[in-house]
Amino acid sequence: MSNKNTLLGFVAGAAVGALAGILLAPEKGSDTRKKITDKSSDLADSVKNTFADFIDQVKNTYSKAEGKAEDFEFKTKAKMNNLKGEVKTAVDNSFS
């Protein structure tokens, strides 16, 4: 989770720095507003991409966990069936 916090801090810092640079630049107001709009759009796209990547990672982790759980279930059922057979054989042999 610290990587996400670091990334979020970096993105926020970059946004603040870019905004400060634009506001302090000696340009016309209309040019400045255009730059702010462009930078805001870029930042929004970056946040959307980061969130989409995060969602993909969560889905991937879930899929892996689901596969491991299914594998564990299969192996456990096989072991239980094997033990049932061994117990049945042992009981049958004890009464013979």
Q: What is the DSSP string of 69-95?
A: HHHHHHHHHHHHHHHHHHHHHHHHHHT
By residue range, what is the domain housing residue 6? 2-94
What total of structural domains would you count in the chain?
1
Q: Is pLDDT of 3 > 80?
A: no
Average pLDDT over residues 2-21: 78
Mean pLDDT of the chain: 85
Q: Whole-prediction pTM value?
A: 0.48
